[in-house]
Amino acid sequence: MLRRGRTRMLLEAGTVVAVLLTGAWLLFRGTLYRPAPAGPAAHAAQESKVDEAIVVAVVGDVVRLSPNGGTSALAAGQRLRADDSVRTGRGGQTDLQLGARSRITVAEGTQLTVREITEKLHRFRLTRGRIAVDYKADGVRLLRIESADGGAVAETQGARFGVLSTGTAVAIATATGEVNLTSEHKTVEVRAGTQSVAAAGKPPSGAEPIPAKLLLKVADAAAAPDRGGLCAEVVGTAPAGAEVLVDGAPAAVAEDGRFRVRVPAAPDKKDATVAIRDASGRETIRTVPCGGRASVPRIKDIAIRWRKKSP
């Protein structure tokens, strides 16, 4: 009987000590203990797990398209997740931040959709238009830009480059780093200072140096009376992969760069504007007067050398 009493007292004492120790630990952890700040590796791990793109700047007409079909004005500070899209109008532009150091600039007349943002993959779909990408290398993380139908894909682990999608072709122009352009089971490495174009249903062209100038050739426009109420019929050629806009509307461009657009007449309409841009972001604009000739640079100075008569 005495032994049982002692055993019971020892158990009760042990329980009391355990409770006191637990209480002391909780008090210490809640008031005095402070965990060490996370090191650079921990911060990097958190940044690599970003699952959204952050809107850091918006200029002009830019809207957000939600997966359920809703449309709203895009604003700085908003976060885009999978299947969100942005669409820029004329003069519109927005910058998206990926992680701490990478950025995508969405130029005017462009629609870009977020497809997937994970620790190892940043995936977007460029339906039409142009984006400028500054993507910093971060381990095995990969950036993938797909065409509207997924037939052409650009991939990089670190580069600064431009992508232009016209609906019939995808063009890549690389400023620094390397980008792989894949289409029809063929991959072309587009290194710094070069460009490549993948026409719909065809493999990419070989990487070539980016031309020093963006050339646009427009033929003389025919007179409106001969064209049944047209302002002009614009005919011209543009470099492969370039986007052609006539009065702001996309023009169909053949593989050899030729295009033909019938511009309807309208009250007070005096001319048509032809503009092209390439993957590098360069633009060239020509004005075609209704029934007249395409604009050409004006002559600023004329030098005349008179021939002397021999004595």
Task: Point out the residues of the chain with pLDDT beneath 70.
Answer: 1-50, 220-228, 292-311
Per-residue confidence (pLDDT) for residue 52, from 0 to 100: 86
pTM of the model: 0.76
Tell which residue, 173, 212, 169, has the closest CA to residue 191: 173
Q: Tell me if the domain spanning 51-209 has CATH number 2.30.30.100.
A: no
Whether residue 287 contacts residue 294, with contact meaning beta carbons closer than 8 Å, is answered with yes
Per-residue confidence (pLDDT) for residue 139, from 0 to 100: 83
Rounded to an integer, what distance in angstroms lies between the CA atom of residue 234 and that of residue 250? Answer: 13
Instruction: Return all residues near 84 (Cβ < 8 A) that are at least 6 apart.
Output: 64, 65, 66, 67, 113, 114
* 224-234 confidence digits (pLDDT tens): 445 568 888 99
For residue 109, give Cα distances in angstroms to 3, 83, 104, 128, 224. Answer: 90, 19, 15, 8, 29
Q: What is the largest CA-CA distance in the chain?
A: 152
Rounded to an integer, what distance in angstroms lies between the CA atom of residue 112 and that of residue 125? Answer: 6
CA 207 to chain centroid: 20
Tell which residue, 284, 227, 285, has the closest CA to residue 261: 227
Instruction: Return all residues near 244 (Cβ < 8 A) that are at least 6 apart.
Output: 236, 238, 250, 251, 253, 259, 274, 275, 276
* 55-66 confidence digits (pLDDT tens): 999 999 999 999
Task: With residue 236 as reference, give the H or E element that holds it.
Answer: strand 230-237
Tell which residue, 279, 282, 283, 281, has the closest CA to residue 145: 279
Fold of 217-289: Immunoglobulin-like (2.60.40)
* Look-up of token digits 């142009």: 130
Domain segments of the chain as ranges: 51-209, 217-289
